[in-house]
A and B are shown apart, each in its own frame.
Chain A
Amino acid sequence: MAAQGTIRERARDIVEEFGLFDDWMGKYEYLIEIGQGLPPLDPLYKTEAYRIHGCQAQVWVRPVMKNGRVFYEGDSDALITKGLVALLIRVLSGQPPEDVVETSLEFLDEIGMQDHLSATRRNGLASMVRQLKRFAQMHANQA
């Protein structure tokens, strides 16, 4: 999870990986696989405090600051949602908070998952992103 590279570099890797599949089924299967590979969140943290609302599925994200960088762990009881959580973590975890605040996450567009970002989708990806950024915002410019 402590992948190397900037947000842009990591996002580019993801776009390349998804580019290997030419239909939506392949992309979704890969997303599900990524979700399955996400280490489960300690049940200790599956509490209201870490819960992201606005999702049909349950989603939790736990942020921590370490050495001036923001780290995220997360989980969901739905696999597609978990895959989306895993993508966000892969791109954003371990980054400087300022970068997290500023990122636009266009890569979701490029891998064909943009419709999950729409506020009307009940998976809460939009509120998830807001939550991740809010935490980063609180710690930005403090380092």
Chain B
Amino acid sequence: MHATGAIQDIPGKFDPAQVRDLFPTLRREVYGKPLVYLDNAASSQKPQAVIDRLIRYYSSEHSNVHRGVHLLSREATDAYEAARKRAADFLNAPSESAVLYTRGATEGINLVASSFGPLHVGQGDVVLVSHMEHHSNIVPWQMLCEAQGARVRAIPVSDTGEIIYEEFERLLGERVRLLAIGHVSNALGTINPLQNMIRQAHELDIPVVVDGAQAAPHMKIDVQALDCDFYALSSHKMFGPTGVGILYAKPERLKAMGPWQGGGDMIETVTFEQTTYNEPPHKFEAGTPNIADVLAFAEAIDFLEGIGQDRIAAYERDLLDYATEQLLQIESVRLVGTATEKASVLSFLIGDIHPYDAGTILDRLGIAVRTGHHCAQPLMRRFGIPGTVRASFALYNTFDEADALAAGVRRVREMLG
């Protein structure tokens, strides 16, 4: 099961050379050049163990879960629920029933907005988000607020891309009934001071929903230490398959919530007069779930924990510092997002070169970055820019690749500057 067991035995500093070979896509060439994959905030590549798990499941283990009396179905159910235990341990959730499978962080947030939102947010209330949120942590709340006659307000962000804390404290006093906040900004890399924010929100009885999509691949997540009410994440950003994610929810919150979607598996008894619902987590998982991807996601969790998130975080911090240093040596490069606490993301502009032009040239050089507004249009407007070039790192990226990025940016300047 633990394909990365060997890595655990290597003490001390993490070296990406130990894992690069496990990722077949990283061996690819693009336009005849080695691929430099720096678009990990959009989605990460998959280790062979994750790919193999998908194949193994479909080759010899597939059956529906929670239904059959036969051996295959029991095995699939056991594996599926064992994966939930795995995810619960990964997040330090108090129990498996606090861990819901979703399609990803977006669906997790939408589930909270639909099932929990109306219980808590009413006419004239405020849902507080930050100015640096991804659209998926803005739009579901707007939809909720529209239905409830409430409104979304945003905590302003400083020029360095950090939450202006006094403004957060001031806004908390304004009929806020829910705080929805990203752990790490996808566009800037800022790590938000969640611990304090959650504590202060709770003092006012305000539940907190955390969008953890960008944090989970880079650091240890402990939902009990954070004490958040909800934490949503996506498997595909943490070396697992697409189409699956986790929503952690405090058990007492889940108990109060009505079901989200109706269908098989989420019921206890059904008659035409009345249906009674299954207990959480299954109450929130209607229909045949994404079994294969759940099992492969558990493999990705094994991979991450096999290396150790603290070692990953330490290595990525060094890499980000180095890449930042290299880019800042280039004339006219301007970083967008210079928070003291950052993870994985380097968002920048090169003089007045359009990010699209820069991204197109970098692509031809074999360097995959993202350009544009990064699904954070309010944030881009806040900085008065159409978008940025975003290089985002993962544990398999090397210092050489940071050099390649810097060389690429120099080339972009020569061609377009």
The yes or no answer to B69 lying at the interface (CB within 8 A) is no
Contact check, B364 vs A80: say whether CB atoms are below 8 A apart. no
In this complex, the member of B355, B357, B360, B361 whose beta carbon has the largest number of chain A beta carbons within 10 angstroms is: B357
Contact check, B357 vs A79: say whether CB atoms are below 8 A apart. yes
Chain B neighbourhood of A46, CB < 8 A: none
Contact check, A24 vs B372: say whether CB atoms are below 8 A apart. no
| Chain B residue nearest in CB terms to A77 | B354
The yes or no answer to A81 lying at the interface (CB within 8 A) is yes
- B368-412 Cβ-contact flags toward A at 8 Å (1 or 0): 000110000000000000110000000000000000000000000
The yes or no answer to B23 lying at the interface (CB within 8 A) is no
Q: How far is the CB of B32 from chain A (nearest CB, A)?
A: 10
Contact check, A77 vs B386: say whether CB atoms are below 8 A apart. yes
The yes or no answer to B270 lying at the interface (CB within 8 A) is no
Q: Which of A29, A32, A56 contacts B355 (CB 8 A)?
A: A56
Chain A neighbourhood of B360, CB < 8 A: 28, 80, 123
Contact check, B415 vs A32: say whether CB atoms are below 8 A apart. yes
Contact check, B372 vs A56: say whether CB atoms are below 8 A apart. yes
Q: Which of A24, A32, A123 contacts B356 (CB 8 A)?
A: A123
Chain B neighbourhood of A123, CB < 8 A: 356, 360
Within 8 A of A (CB), among B335-372: 353-357, 360-361, 364, 371-372
| Chain B residue nearest in CB terms to A121 | B360
Q: Which of B355, B361, B387 contacts A28 (CB 8 A)?
A: B361
Contact check, B372 vs A79: say whether CB atoms are below 8 A apart. no
The yes or no answer to B272 lying at the interface (CB within 8 A) is no
- A39-74 Cβ-contact flags toward B at 8 Å (1 or 0): 000000000000000011110000000000000000
Contact check, A56 vs B387: say whether CB atoms are below 8 A apart. yes
Chain A neighbourhood of B356, CB < 8 A: 55-57, 78, 80-81, 122-123
CA distance A80 to B371 in the complex (A): 14
Contact check, B364 vs A24: say whether CB atoms are below 8 A apart. yes
CA distance A24 to B361 in the complex (A): 10
Give the interface size bracket for B toward A. 10 to 19
In this complex, the member of A25, A28, A78, A79 whose beta carbon has the largest number of chain B beta carbons within 10 angstroms is: A78
Contact check, A122 vs B415: say whether CB atoms are below 8 A apart. no
Q: How far is the CB of A54 from chain B (nearest CB, A)?
A: 12
Contact check, A80 vs B357: say whether CB atoms are below 8 A apart. yes
Q: How far is the CB of A63 from chain B (nearest CB, A)?
A: 24
CA distance A32 to B360 in the complex (A): 12
Chain B neighbourhood of A29, CB < 8 A: 415
Chain A neighbourhood of B387, CB < 8 A: 56
Q: How far is the CB of B122 from chain A (nearest CB, A)?
A: 37
Contact check, A78 vs B364: say whether CB atoms are below 8 A apart. no
Chain B neighbourhood of A78, CB < 8 A: 354, 356-357
Contact check, A79 vs B354: say whether CB atoms are below 8 A apart. yes
Contact check, A24 vs B31: say whether CB atoms are below 8 A apart. yes
- A77-115 Cβ-contact flags toward B at 8 Å (1 or 0): 111110000000000000000000000000000000000
CA distance A123 to B386 in the complex (A): 14
Chain B neighbourhood of A58, CB < 8 A: 386
Chain B neighbourhood of A25, CB < 8 A: 364, 415
In this complex, the member of B353, B356, B361 whose beta carbon has the largest number of chain A beta carbons within 10 angstroms is: B356
Task: Show 28 residue pairs from A and B whose CB-CB distance is below 8 angstroms, ordered by the A residue.
Answer: A24-B31, A25-B415, A28-B360, A28-B361, A28-B364, A29-B415, A32-B415, A55-B356, A56-B355, A56-B356, A56-B371, A56-B372, A57-B354, A57-B357, A58-B386, A77-B354, A77-B386, A78-B354, A79-B354, A80-B356, A80-B357, A80-B360, A80-B361, A81-B354, A81-B356, A81-B357, A123-B356, A123-B360
B-contacting residues of A (Cβ < 8 Å)? Answer: 24-25, 28-29, 32, 55-58, 77-81, 122-123
Q: Across chains A and B, which 8 residue pairs bring their CB atoms closest together, nearest first?
A: A78-B354, A56-B356, A78-B356, A57-B356, A80-B357, A78-B357, A56-B372, A79-B357
New A-B pairs, 12, CB < 8 Å, besides A77-B354, A78-B356: A25-B364, A28-B415, A32-B357, A55-B356, A56-B372, A78-B354, A79-B353, A79-B416, A80-B357, A81-B354, A122-B372, A123-B360
